[in-house]
Amino acid sequence: MQLDFGKRRLDLSRPVVMGILNVTPDSFSDGGAYPDPALAAARALQMVEEGAAVIDVGGESTRPGAAAVDGDSEIARVVPVIEAIRGSCDVPVSIDTSKPEVMRAAVAAGASFINDVRALREPGALEAAASLKVPVCLMHMRGEPRTMQDAPEYDNVVSDVMAFLAERVDTCLRAGFLRERLVLDPGFGFGKTLQHNLLILNNLQRLTEFELPVLVGISRKSMIGAILDRPVDQRLYGSLAAATISLLKGASIIRTHDVAPTVDAVRVVTALGATQT
């Protein structure tokens, strides 16, 4: 399995790691850690050296209760960072956004992947992403980030996530997307209780039925904190356990704050020949 970036392809015959780079003041784990482009680019290069195959740059926090950010402010945060990274290495850069104007600005600056928690449902996002012709990750989310954890309910969370992603894939294909440029994310922690998250993790192999790469973003999330009763900065080992389970159930891309230890986990699972990709 490969992910088509146009001029290059990302080989997913073995799982890869996506490094998280939040250039925000309020993200739940690393908000405010990289206040200028030089620091952010240095962190990106560090993650590449640790084995990250993609760097995911985000300029707006999607944690529950986070303040909304307008498009111009988000562009001002992410574009200089993307340009700095692209000037230093050729590893693909992903833009974590739902806004069409940010997608266009980020791709113009050198991003080659769109990671959208709203699965291209914002006005103009589908058309923008289709015109940019870069890979897109479609994530499941119930509700909006700022209120998504207000008592989320499902008839059957696994079936509901599958149905949502099937609809979004169909919508993208009808809009002219190539299948080789679509990635799926079940959206751990986005409008889901701990029990919902555990059910999805236990049935993650169902998403491989789409025959598309599956991205898992579970690093340091509240579900890990709820299981372990530990704060954000003490969730590494739980995150690695969840990442390993995800790999065993067919995940192709692991999105993480902790690149080096996650790369080690990927290598061990891959060496065993235990992944389903």
User: Annotated active-site positions, please?
Assistant: 221, 255
Beta strands at 2-4 and 9-11: parallel, antiparallel or unpaired? antiparallel
Q: Does residue 18 contact residue 219 with C-beta atoms inside 8 Å?
A: no
- Classify the C-alpha dihedral 263-215-182-105 as positive or negative: negative
**Cα separation of 174 and 193, whole Å?**
33
In this structure, how many other beta carbons lie within 10 angstroms of the beta carbon of residue 225? 17
Residues in the chain: 277
In this structure, how many other beta carbons lie within 10 angstroms of the beta carbon of residue 229? 7
Distance, C-alpha 37 to centroid of its chain:
21
Give strand pairing partners of 113.
94
Each as own residue / partner, the long-range contacts of residues 265-272 (CB below 8 Å, 24 or more positions apart, any chain) are: 265/240, 266/14, 266/15, 266/16, 266/17, 268/244, 269/15, 269/244, 270/14, 270/15
Q: Does residue 29 contact residue 257 with C-beta atoms inside 8 Å?
A: yes
